[in-house]
Amino acid sequence: MAKDKQHQLDIVTKPQFIDGSALKIPMLQILAEDGTIRKGAEQPEMDKELALKIFDTMQFIRILDERMIAAQRQGRISFYLSSLGEEAASIGSAAALSDQDMIMGQYREQGALAFRGFTVEQFMNQLFSNERDLGKGRQMPVHYGCAELNFMTIASPLATQIPQATGYAYGQKMDKSGNCTICYFGEGAASEGDFHAALNMAAVYKVPAIFFCRNNGYAISTPSQGEQYAGDGIAPRGVAYGMKTIRVDGNDVFAVYQATQLARKLAVEENEPVLIEGMSYRMAGHSTSDDPTGYRTREEENAWRAKDPVVRFQKWLQNQGWISEEEAQQNYDEKKAAVLAALKSAETVPVPHIDEIIEDVYDTPPKHLKKQLEALKAHIRKYPEAYPKTASRIDGGDK
């Protein structure tokens, strides 16, 4: 009869308390802030084509975020969440994956989606909730999803994607697909019960999942240090659950890329779930509804701007002779023009026809949904000035 592992513990005869606050996990950094490779670091293999694609995506996301924050301020869209300062975390990790791997994001992973091939037009259609939006206008802005690119639709409630990732990865294991699931979330979401349940289940059932925590310093206005946890961040939690764990500089695209490469190998070849904690900083507000000047200083922000992941990677590319400052600026200008053109086009596209609200769930919409839809139409007809875009598509509007 096999012995119970729980009974195979080391025995001591005097009380010994383990000081959890003493556990310190180091941070992997390969690319220094000045764009050079740190002494003793092993730079991951990355050819010119891949490096320029990563940088190209970083530039695009930086422009997209800046322009759409401005669009929200102008009243052209209702809401926006940016990933300013966190581009290396999502794009560097996505670059290390197979296109068949599933991505489950929170709401700062637009870089991973863009790297997969989501077009500027697709971004804009979702942000304006128009009839070309893949989600048929049913989601808030920045809640992207694309089945073709294996990117699970983003949900607003914090941490719901983490147990979903464990379950999806378990299915990949059962199917012997040779693929894994990467799940992104912030350190604030790691305070939710879903995080703990998901990591424990993933470790116990050994599923091919990569849990990527973007520790950007704040859960909206709550600072991570001193108010979110007493221990050494999120990484020690992976150790506690018996999971392979690594902490990286989330603003260093090489550290993120290499760690994710190794994590994917563990996940796919050995069915070992991995926790990656990427240390970064949210340079913008939590969302366009947030004013960060109320809870952090300009000096703190400027200290992190000096660690800008896009600037850091551009310096390395210039040192390699793979891009010049002039070429980088030209690429930036071209992308800015493309984003502005797509924005102007998308906001002229009609909203989805109101009848589509009750489609896609049942083959034939049931009576109670039809009744609710007619009640909604009657309400909009009564107050058309409050719903100008929708009202125009109720009576006689093309479907």
Identify the domain containing residue 374 by its residue range.
Answer: 354-391
Q: What is the pLDDT, as a whole number, of residue 397?
A: 56
**Same-domain status, 341 and 368:** no
List pLDDT tens digits, range 223-271.
998 899 999 999 999 999 999 999 999 999 999 999 999 999 999 999 9
| Residue 397, in any domain of the structure | no
Q: What is the pLDDT, as a whole number, of residue 7?
A: 60
List pLDDT tens digits, range 80-125.
999 999 999 999 999 999 999 999 999 999 999 999 999 999 999 9
Pairing of strands 181-186, 151-152: unpaired
Range from 13-27, 37-51, 232-246, 263-277 carrying the lowest mean pLDDT: 13-27
| Confidence (pTM) | 0.94
Q: Residue 340: pLDDT above 90?
A: yes
Q: Among 313, 328, 346, give the residue marking a domain's end.
A: 346
**Same-domain status, 383 and 235:** no
pLDDT band at 3; cut points 50, 70, 90: very low
**Same-domain status, 234 and 258:** yes
**Same-domain status, 240 and 115:** yes
Sign of CA dihedral 232, 188, 57, 330: negative
**Same-domain status, 191 and 281:** yes
List, in sequence order, every beta strand (DSSP E) within 22-101. Answer: 27-28
**Same-domain status, 330 and 367:** no
The larger pLDDT score, comparing residue 215 to residue 399, is at 215
Q: What is the pLDDT, as a whole number, of residue 347?
A: 96
| Residue 1, in any domain of the structure | no
Q: What is the pLDDT, as a whole number, of residue 8?
A: 82
How far apart, in whole angstroms, are the C-alpha atoms of residue 273 and residue 167?
A: 12
Token match 């790691």: residue? 190
How far apart, in whole angstroms, are the C-alpha atoms of residue 101 and residue 94?
A: 9
Q: What is the pLDDT, as a whole number, of residue 361?
A: 84
Which residues are within 8 A (CB) of 319 and not within 5 positions of it... i.e. 6 or more apart? 35, 36
- Radius of gyration of the CA atoms of the chain, in A: 23
Q: Residue 5: pLDDT above 60?
A: no
Q: Which structure tokens are listed for 302?
A: 């400027």
Give how many domains the chain has, as a whole number.
2
How far apart, in whole angstroms, are the C-alpha atoms of residue 278 and residue 185?
A: 10
Active site amino acids: 282, 286, 295
**Same-domain status, 152 and 251:** yes
Amino acid at site 250: G
